[in-house]
Amino acid sequence: MAISEIFCILGWLAIAFSKVAWWAELGRLLVGCGMGLLSYVVPIYIAEITPKNLRGGFTTVHQLMICCGVSLTYLIGAFLNWRALALIGTVPCVIQILGLFFIPESPRWLAKIGQEKKCEDALQNLRGKNADISQEKSEIRDYTETLKRLSEASILDLFQRRYAYSLIVGVGLMVLQQFGGVNGIAFYASTIFISAGFSDSIGTIAMVAVQIPMTGLGVILMDKSGRRPLLLVSSTGTCLGCLLVGLSFLLQNLQQWKQVTPILALVGILVFTGSFSLGMGGIPWVIMSEIFPINMKGSAGSLVTLVSWLGSWIVSYAFNFLMDWNSAGTFFMFSCISGVTILFVAKLVPETKGRTLEEIQTSMNQFSEKR
């Protein structure tokens, strides 16, 4: 996390003080490297330090904070130029670096490198000085001892039979999350509203107004209803939302119900945004942080994060071309992908609520071996 924040600080400074285009491009590259690392490391750290009954909610708070940060940046950016905004971007980075001096290292990582005493101290610090940590400490120790008999997994080792189930679930959720169209819709929301004949400023404000409370609701429900039900409801909502937007553009092309189509597009986008924020936005990262054994978290996490950001780039790059090709067809395609997500979650994604990381990972590896 500290190294990632250094990348981000250097990147924002390069952007803020850029005199030529390549300075800004280098800054974007550095910020991208930092954010790519943080997007994986932070959910992993949260999952490894929190108790099983709170792990989902705590990990989803990460997504809520991202949502709040993006919304705040949109608000500040309306009043400041991009250089000032880049300088403000260094502030949370510096705060996090300073904050790292006051938080413990992950107990599971300490156990993995053989620091038993530090592992116990960190776990006691996290749970409270009077808390009984004997059972949790024993589970971590036993599972770590089992994993020590396995070598650190490389990228090629991920494709062994024993890791197949974890890999299919982790990569599959990220592919479906990104190819459901979220970044195309988020980045080009104004264009979509204008194309549909609706006010872009009102539409964007409505999106933010829906996004934050729905993400908060997801945090509350995460460890109560479970991951699978939220994913199913969320993907059903994104499917319906894209279907409504696609129908709006189709009716617009057919010159039918002209007064209704802008409202239909707004409702569709809001249904999509709210549903995505409820589950598909954060839960894939929660599950990804839970399912991979500690000996393969580095390589598996790198692969899953790469797939996620690559998917984000492909959708963001292709979205304008798709809209020029066929606006209605683009959203019907996203709706179909959300439909595939419903089937994928129903058939393959395990429920991880209320289970320790060791229990989840052991059960998934056994599943792989049986298959």
Q: What is the DSSP string of 38-83?
A: HHHHHHHHHHHHS-TTTHHHHHHHHHHHHHHHHHHHHHHHTTS-HH
Question: Taking 80 as the threshold, does the pLDDT of residue 272 lie above it?
Answer: yes
Q: Which DSSP category does 113 fall into? A: T
Q: Give CA separation, 211 vs 116, 207, 274, in Å.
A: 42, 6, 5
What residue spans define the domains of the chain?
107-149, 157-370
Q: Give CA separation, 244 vs 192, 251, 258, 363, in Å.
A: 13, 10, 15, 39
3-state secondary structure 4-21: HHHHHHHHHHHHHCCCCH
The C-alpha atoms of residue 59 and residue 284 are separated, in whole angstroms, by 11
Residue whose pair of structure tokens reads 């990972």 in the numeric block: 361
Q: Which residues contact 177 (CB under 8 A, 6 or more apart)?
A: 280, 281, 284, 308, 311, 341
* Relative orientation angle of helices 21-49 and 82-99, to the nearest 10 degrees: 30
For residue 320, which amino acid is it?
N
Length of the chain (residues): 371
The residue-averaged pLDDT of 165-184 equals: 91
CB 43 within 8 Å of CB 66: no
Q: What is the fold, at CATH topology level, of the domain defined by 157-370?
A: Growth Hormone; Chain: A; (1.20.1250)
The C-alpha atoms of residue 97 and residue 259 are separated, in whole angstroms, by 52
Question: Taking 60 as the threshold, does the pLDDT of residue 366 lie above it?
Answer: no
Residue 150: the pLDDT is: 61
Give residue 54's pLDDT band: very low, low, confident or very high (50, 70, 90): confident
Q: Give CA separation, 239 vs 161, 185, 242, in Å.
A: 32, 13, 5
Give residue 371's pLDDT band: very low, low, confident or very high (50, 70, 90): very low
pLDDT digits (tens, 9 = 90+) for 344-353: 999 999 888 8
Give residue 152's pLDDT band: very low, low, confident or very high (50, 70, 90): low
| Pure H helices in the chain | 2-16, 21-49, 55-77, 82-99, 107-112, 116-127, 134-148, 164-179, 182-187, 189-195, 200-225, 227-253, 261-275, 283-291, 297-325, 327-348, 357-370
Question: Taking 90 as the threshold, does the pLDDT of residue 40 lie above it?
Answer: no
The C-alpha atoms of residue 322 and residue 337 are separated, in whole angstroms, by 15
CB 264 within 8 Å of CB 244: yes
Question: Taking 80 as the threshold, does the pLDDT of residue 31 lie above it?
Answer: yes
pLDDT digits (tens, 9 = 90+) for 81-108: 889 999 999 999 999 999 999 999 999 8
Give residue 2's pLDDT band: very low, low, confident or very high (50, 70, 90): very high
Residue, of 227 and 337, whose pLDDT is higher: 337
pLDDT digits (tens, 9 = 90+) for 184-202: 888 777 777 777 677 777 7
| Mean pLDDT of the chain, nearest integer | 85
The residue-averaged pLDDT of 290-319 equals: 84
